[in-house]
Amino acid sequence: MRWSRNGWHIDKGNFTMDSAKIKNVVIAILLILNFCFLIIAVGDKLESRKMEQQMSDELSEVFSKNGITMPASVMPDNARLQQWSVMRDPDVENFIAEVLLGNAQREDQGGNIFVYKNENGNARFRGNGEFEIFLSEQNELRRQMSDSEIEKLFEKCGIEAEREVTDGENITYVCTADGIQIFNCKIVFERIDGVLTSVYGFCPMILENTEQEMEVIGAATALMKFLNAVKAGGFVCNSVYYVDCGYSLEFNILASVSGKLSSVWRIFTDSGVYYIDGRDGTFLTEI
C-alpha cells in the first residue's frame, strides 16, 4: 500500500504475497495443534492400556490367592452391546420348514405352537423360539450329508449364526446378533451314521435393533462376582481359561413383542461353563 496525490493505492503483488504468508502460518498452526491433540490422545490411550493391564494383573493375583489360576491375558475388554427386541414371525418359520420339508400344511395346535406336516417329515415351532424338524425316510435330505453340504443347507435357511467347534457327527450353529453370539440360541443338525435325520434348537426368528446401547457391568466386576460365587462354596474351580460377553434370549410369549436379548458374561473353567448376568452381576449356572 502506498500514498500518492490521488490517494492510497494497494500494491496487489505485495498483498497477494502477504495473504499467502498468512495462509501458510494458519496451516502450520493447525498442523501443530492437530499434532498436539494426537500426542494427547495417544498418551491417554497408553495410560488407559497401562491401567487396564494393572487391573488385569491385580485381578489375576486375587484369583491366585484364592486357589484359581487365571492369566491376566484372560480378562477381556469391557463389552459394548446393543439393545435388541425379538419378534416371532410365522412367515420365517414357514420358510425354514419349507427349506427342510418342502411345501407343508401348517396347523395351529394352540399354546403358541405351530406344526408343519407332509410326507417329508414334520416341524414344530414354539413361542419361546424352540423348534424341532424331523426328516422322514422319503425326504431326499435324509441321506449321507457332508459338513459342506449341511453348511449350504443352513445358509438357505437365512439365519444369522456361526458354526460352533464341536466333536462327533452333529453340527451346531450359534445364533448371533450383529456378529455377537446369543449363547442360549443353538441350532443342531443331527446325523446318525452320517445321515441327516433332524434339525432342532432355539432361534430368534426376527431381531430388531433398538439403536440403544445396553448398560453392561465391566469384565472385572463380572469376574469378581464369579469369584464370590466360588468362595460361597457352590462348586470347585481351579482354572479360568476364557471369558467373553454376549447375549441371552429371553422370551415373553404373552407379549406383542415376543422377547429381548439380555447381556451375559460367559466364563470357561476347568469345571464347566458359567454365566454372570450382565445387568446386575447375578451368578448363573445356566441360561
SS3 per-residue string spanning the chain: CEEECCEEECCHHHHHHHHHHHHHHHHHHHHHHHHHHHHHHHHHHHHHHHHHHHHHHHHHHHHHHCCCECCHHHCCCCCCCEEEEEECCHHHHHHHHHHHHCCCEEEEEECCEEEEEECCEEEEECCCCEEEEEECCCCCCCCECCHHHHHHHHHHHCCCEEECCCCCCCEEEEEEECCEEEEEEEEEEEEECCEEEEEEEECCCEEEEEEEECCCCCHHHHHHHHHHHHHCCCCCCCEEEEEEEEEEEEECCCCCCCEEEEEEEEEEECCEEEEEECCCCCEECCC
In sequence order, what are the beta bridge partners of 134?
A: 122, 198
User: Is-contact 56 75, C-beta < 8 A?
Assistant: yes
The alpha-carbon radius of gyration of the chain (Å, integer) is 30
Nearest to 242 by CA among 71, 65, 59, 57: 71
pLDDT at 183: 94
Nearest to 217 by CA among 260, 271, 277, 258: 277
pLDDT at 16: 54
pLDDT, the chain, mean: 84
Q: Which of 111 and 230 is assigned the larger pLDDT?
A: 230
User: Is-contact 277 285, C-beta < 8 A?
Assistant: no
User: Is-contact 169 194, C-beta < 8 A?
Assistant: yes
User: Is-contact 109 121, C-beta < 8 A?
Assistant: no
Q: pTM value?
A: 0.78
Burial (CB count <10 Å: 0-12, 13-18, 19+), residue 67: exposed
Residues near 103 by beta carbon (within 8 Å), at least 6 away in sequence: 118
pLDDT at 266: 96
Q: Which of 25 and 236 is assigned the larger pLDDT?
A: 236
Q: Measured between alpha carbons, how far is residue 207 from residues 31, 78, 203, 230 in Å?
A: 45, 23, 10, 35
* Rounded average pLDDT over 104-118: 91
Q: Dump pLDDT digits (tens) for 65-87.
A: 999 999 988 888 888 899 888 88
d(CA 118, CA 139): 10
* Rounded average pLDDT over 201-218: 86
pLDDT at 204: 82
**Does the pLDDT at position 21 exceed 90?**
no
- Kindly give the interhelix angle for 219-231 and 12-65, rounded to the nearest 10 degrees: 0
pLDDT at 128: 84
- Residue 97 has φ and ψ, to the nearest 5°, of -60, -40
pLDDT at 46: 44
d(CA 54, CA 48): 10
**Does the pLDDT at position 250 exceed 60?**
yes
Q: How would residue 45 be classed by pLDDT, with cut points 50, 70 and 90? A: low
**Does the pLDDT at position 10 exceed 60?**
no
Cβ atoms within 10 Å, residue 107:
13
* Rounded average pLDDT over 206-222: 88
Grid cell digits, residue 168: 462327533
**Does the pLDDT at position 276 exceed 50?**
yes
d(CA 109, CA 117): 12
